Each structure stands twice: as structure tokens, then as C-alpha cells.
Chain A
């Protein structure tokens, strides 16, 4: 893939908690439409890196650029508005809202009407809600969740909850999608299905994806390039097959 227009550019990103450098001098460049993997053993700093990218933590050093725009140190909300959406390692859905409403919360910033419009049920309310319903159902259909639209999110089986989280993230219309261990806790069938879904949304929405994953099969199957973290530092990076054959990576991560 030609390095035309990097969607995400991370330079020298670092953060310390006390004396521990949880992420140390991280550099990543992700191009448009790419599926990029971030792997590493437990405690390597992968999720911390995600939290830095999404504004949960403020970095001590370094610059994050999204589509050329500097988003370093901005708040989570601003970063989401700028175009980064994420999912969570331990699923965080709005469990008492319906599946449909979960996605509609994701659509929140793209459809506007005032509080008074909703209280007095002005025509704009019905018009906008109808559009939101249509858009949300369209997204749910992609993940085969349209049949469960009226269930509470907590009533969905595990695998579908993961999918709903991705659907909700996509609803915010991001430029970059961050997936934090999407296959965690899934059985092989569900993982396979998830891989297909990720490939599909990448094509369908022309989406750039950064993926944290433990499941090597999934990583090897769909990621084009990888960065391997170990103790907060970059151990290796490059095309997937190269990185996975790197002896250092094999010792650090995959075992002897």
C-alpha cells in the first residue's frame, strides 16, 4: 500500500505512571484503509496506548495526528468528534438500553434537535428520529443484529454484544476504528465470523482499523502490518509475516 495519506500518525508517544514507563517512545503510522495490528504480551502497554490515543490518559511526550490534525492531549469527546471510535476489552454497552438505542447513542452527534423539540414533540423530532432509526437499522443489519433491535443490550449473547459495540463505534462515523481485543472470550466459530465481519466493514465503510489482539490466528489472518510492544517499547514492526517470524518477537511473545 502506498504511503499516500496517513490517517494516524503517532510520534514518540510516551507516558509514565510513577516510575513505570507504560508506553515508551511509540511510533505508528497507519495509512487509509489499512488494517493494522498492535500485539504484545500481557502488560506490554497495548491498552494504555489505546487510552492515550483516545484521550483517556494525557501523554507525557509525543504527538498524535489524525488525518494531519494534531489531537494530542484533547479530551475523549473531542477525539471522538475528530474521528476516532473504539471498543473496549471488557465490553462496555449501555446494558439497559435497547440494541437499537445503543447504536442511536452512537449517532448522537450526527443528528441534532433541541430539548424543546423533543419535549413538545415537534415535527423535527419525528423526522430526525425516523432518520436515526433507519441509519441505525442499516448498521445493525451489517452485523446481523437487526432481528434483536428491540432487546436490551444485556440480553444479547456474548458474541453479539461484541458486534454491537463495534456497530455503536461505527455509528459515530469515525475515520479510524480502534478494536481492543475483539475476539476475547469468543469460540473459534465466533472468531472466524468476527474476522469476516471486520474484513467486510473495512471494505464496506472504507474503514481504517487498528486492532489489539491476542488471538494470533486472527492477527495473522487479517492484519497487513503489525507493531509488537513489550514492556512499553516497540519490539518490532512491519508486514505481518515478517514480524511474526522475527526471532525476538517469537521469544518475547509466542514462547520458545
Chain B
């Protein structure tokens, strides 16, 4: 099938782009051309890319607006950091511990996504967006009051304070309320981040081009018609939402294992973060995975590159964002871009003409 081959090629370009960027960054790093500031940004950047791609499953493929994506990241981050902290001394192989942590992050966020999705996905549009926003905040706030400690008798849990855990003298506090988890092993590296991006892309792109993916997209395009051909709406909405949440959990694992102290603040797991991810998705093009990656990279690096401008930094950032949005999605700009593209790519122009001409020539 021609269509099939085109899509496969398209996916390969996306994978190639990520691998190419990785190689370039590695070379630059070897040559010492990357500042330590930028180096510190590489792992969070990988996490943001995974978040953007995973949110795009909900927003672009399922067609529902979710404002609580950071909440799922939070679940993955804390569940996995808790596990790593617990087994820091008992599992000596870093790779094994981190692999299990990844699975825990994936599964825990997926389960929470499923549980939240069940009631929430009955809603539509703005209502759904606001309820997901609320759930995201709830998750963050629950973690902020959660105290977990361990001593010779086992685990102690409290939602009051550290003292009420009643730990024995040999006990240690693992999750310390608003102060979060301190001393998580630093298992995340840029290479692992890139591998996880590739795995995320692999899962998402393969899902889209499958029986399940078609069912999910049919719901996005027309719920009534999807129902009329026997598509189980609830099942596929939940599937898309859970996978999206689970992958956000993976991003959380990557993120948390890059930090010395993990705290659930509004900045990293709150509303701001959810909106930032949504901006990546919208700017990159809803449903466009490659676009999500590119916009996540640009918008993450931009504030750092503008650091020299001091006070004007966020102002310039905002202006660049507006200009990019306009250039990318304003109708006139799109037309101009398409024209430009069709000049470069002759094959594409031909297809466009065939469509406009009503396909008299059978369009091969």
C-alpha cells in the first residue's frame, strides 16, 4: 500500500531526527562546546519531549483537551523515586533498579490515568479540560501532605506530619511531605532520555497506525459515526488516556532520577507545567508528533539561550512564542508555507493538484 509506505517513511524521518540530534549533541559535548547550564537541561528536555508526545496522544489522537498531564508525570516521578529510595541499598545494579523504576512509573501513572479517566472521560471539551486540571492539582497536593517512613517494622504512612509516623530510632523518612524525596539516585542520563524518547515514539506511532489507533481517531472525528459502526467508545477513550498517562509517568521517572531532591511544587508538577506541555503540543501541531518534539526543544532551550537579556528574557520568549504560533498556524502563513513547500517538493504539488482537479486521471 502506497499510503502505508509513505507513513512508514514519515515515521523513520521522526526517528532519524531524534537520533541525528542525539549524535550532534554528543559530538558537541565531547568537543566541550556545550555549557554546563545547557548540559543540565538535557535530561529535563528529554522528559519534556516525552510529555509532549504523550499529551499529543490525548489531545491530537483522541481529540480531548487535558490540562492535568503534569499530575500523571508527578505520579510516575514519586512512585519510581519512592521505589528507588527503598531499594537503593538492596538492588546494587543501577540499570536493573532504574529499569524496574521505569516500569513502576509507567504502570502507576497508567493505573491512575485509567482510574481518573473512567469518570472524567464522560465529559467533553472544556468540562473535561477543567476536571483534568483539578485532578492534576489534587494529585500534586496529596503528595505534598504524604509522609512515608521505614524502620525495622516496615513501612509507616501518615498524612499529618513526620512525627506521627512513629518511627523507631533506626527508621528513615522516605517521603517527607512538602519536602518530598531527598537523595534519589541519579540514574537518568541524556542517553537514557533519548532511548526513552525513541521507545515512546515507537509505542505512539505504532499505536496510531493500527486497529486501535484507527478506532481512537474515529472517535475524535465523529463519535456518533464511530458508535454506529460498533466502536466501543469508552474502551478506546480509556485506552488512549491511560497510555498517554503511562508515558507521562515514564517522563516523570526520567525527571525525578535527575534531581537530588524531588518536591511537588506548582512549578514542576502543577498547572504551569501542564500548560507548558500543552503549548508544546499546540505549537508543534495537534496530532503531529514530530512537531511536538521540535517545539519542545525550541521552547525549552529558548529561555536559556536568551539568558543574556536578563529582565527581557521572558518578554522575548513570549513574543517569539506568539510569532511562531502565527507563522505556524495562521491561514495566510500556512498558505505561503505550502506554496514554498510545493516548490521545493514537486511530488507533493502534484498530489495537491490531483485532489483539486477532482481526480479525473484516476490519480494513479
Residues of A within 8 A of B (CB): 54, 56, 76-77, 80-81, 85-86, 88, 92-98, 100-101, 104-106, 108-109, 111-113, 115, 118-121, 125, 128-129, 132-133, 147-151, 155, 157, 168-169, 171-172
Contact = CB atoms under 8 A, between A and B. Distances in A.
B89 to A, nearest CB: 35
Given A97-B221, A119-B207, A128-B211, 18 more contacts: A56-B224, A76-B228, A77-B227, A77-B232, A80-B230, A88-B225, A94-B222, A94-B225, A95-B221, A100-B3, A101-B214, A105-B218, A118-B210, A121-B206, A132-B211, A147-B362, A157-B358, A168-B225
B260 to A, nearest CB: 34
Contacts of A168: 225, 229
A237 B218 CA distance: 38
Contact of A97 (B4, B207, B211, B217): B217
Interface of B: 1-4, 6, 202-203, 206-207, 209-215, 217-218, 220-222, 224-233, 239, 355, 358-359, 362-363
Nearest to A75: B227
B306 to A, nearest CB: 36
Chain B residues touching A, majority SS: helix
Nearest to B225: A92
Contacts of B203: 119
A87 to B, nearest CB: 9
Given A97-B217, A101-B214, A147 B224 contact: no
Given A109-B230, A115-B207, A92 B217 contact: no
Contacts, number: 112
A22 to B, nearest CB: 18
A151 B206 contact: no
A73 B6 CA distance: 44
Contacts of B358: 157
A100 B211 CA distance: 13
With most chain A CB atoms within 10 A of its CB, the pick from B218, B220, B227, B229 is B229
Nearest to A169: B229
12 contacts: A76-B228, A77-B230, A92-B228, A94-B222, A96-B220, A105-B218, A108-B229, A118-B212, A119-B202, A121-B206, A150-B1, A172-B229
B206 A94 contact: no
Given A101-B214, A147-B362, A93 B222 contact: yes
Contacts of B217: 94, 96-97, 101
A133 B5 CA distance: 13
Nearest to A173: B230
A101 B211 CA distance: 9
Contacts of B230: 77, 80-81, 108-109, 172
Contacts of A93: 221-222, 225
A103 B222 CA distance: 14
A106 B230 CA distance: 8
A132 B1 CA distance: 12
Contacts of A121: 206
